[in-house]
Structure 1
Amino acid sequence: MTRYAVAWVDIAEDQYQALSGQQQRLIDARVAQMLEDPETNSSYDRRTDQWTTTDSASVGLITFVFRPDRPRLVILRLIY
């Protein structure tokens, strides 16, 4: 059962829409994993209070925020 809901900021949504179908599937697969456990295979930057991880093929970078006590994970940027 998914612990978190996902939200996308506008720039991340635009970046996602500009990706190829294959790249979108890689992002989708990783986001599905993140909704269960965002901390696994992710790095936290205390200075920016943001998390980073890669897509499911370790090709693209995903920047996101979440709070363990809140049910929302917010995708901030995708970097390919």
Structure 2
Amino acid sequence: MARYTIRWVTYAEQQRDTLPPEGRHELDALLNRLVDDPYRQGTYNKRTELWRAVFGYGLLTYSIEDRLLTITALRVTWILKH
């Protein structure tokens, strides 16, 4: 099976770059799983036609373009734990 490429929109890239080290580690682990099979890692929202996957205390929102074997990261949300 071919591996997918991850493409970042600017907003998601900025959010990714502000994650704490533990969040970045968890996100990187999720991304490594996503490139092999983006459908098994997340849940699909029919209303928005987007996918979401949890990582640690975060949530990645993304789309999948099978024709181009590309995952587009649209938003990275991190919930600060106190």
Smaller-chain TM-score bracket:
0.7 to 0.9
Partners in 2 of 1:34 and 1:41 — Cα distance?
6
TM-score (norm 2): 0.86
Mind listing any 5+ residue stretches in structure 1 that lack a counterpart?
none
SS in 2 for 1:15: helix
Which string of whole-angstrom CA distances, capped at 9 and with x for unpartnered residues, describes residues 34-66 of structure 1? 0000011311111111000111x3x21000000
* 1:36 alignment partner AA: D
In the TM superposition, 1:1-80 aligns within 5 A as: 3-55=3-55, 57=56, 59-80=57-78
Change (3 A) 1:3 1:14: same
Which string of whole-angstrom CA distances, capped at 9 and with x for unpartnered residues, describes residues 9-39 of structure 1? 0011000111112211110110110000001
Mind listing any 5+ residue stretches in structure 2 that lack a counterpart?
none
* 1:15 alignment partner AA: Q
- How many residue pairs align between the two structures? 78
**In percent, how many aligned pairs have the same letter?**
28
TM-score (norm 1): 0.88
Displacement of 1:68 in angstroms is 2.8
Higher helix share: 2
Instruction: State the 4+ residue runs in structure 1 displaced beyond 4 angstroms.
Output: none
From the CA coordinates, give the structure whose radius of gyration is larger. Answer: 2
Partners in 2 of 1:2 and 1:23 — Cα distance?
27
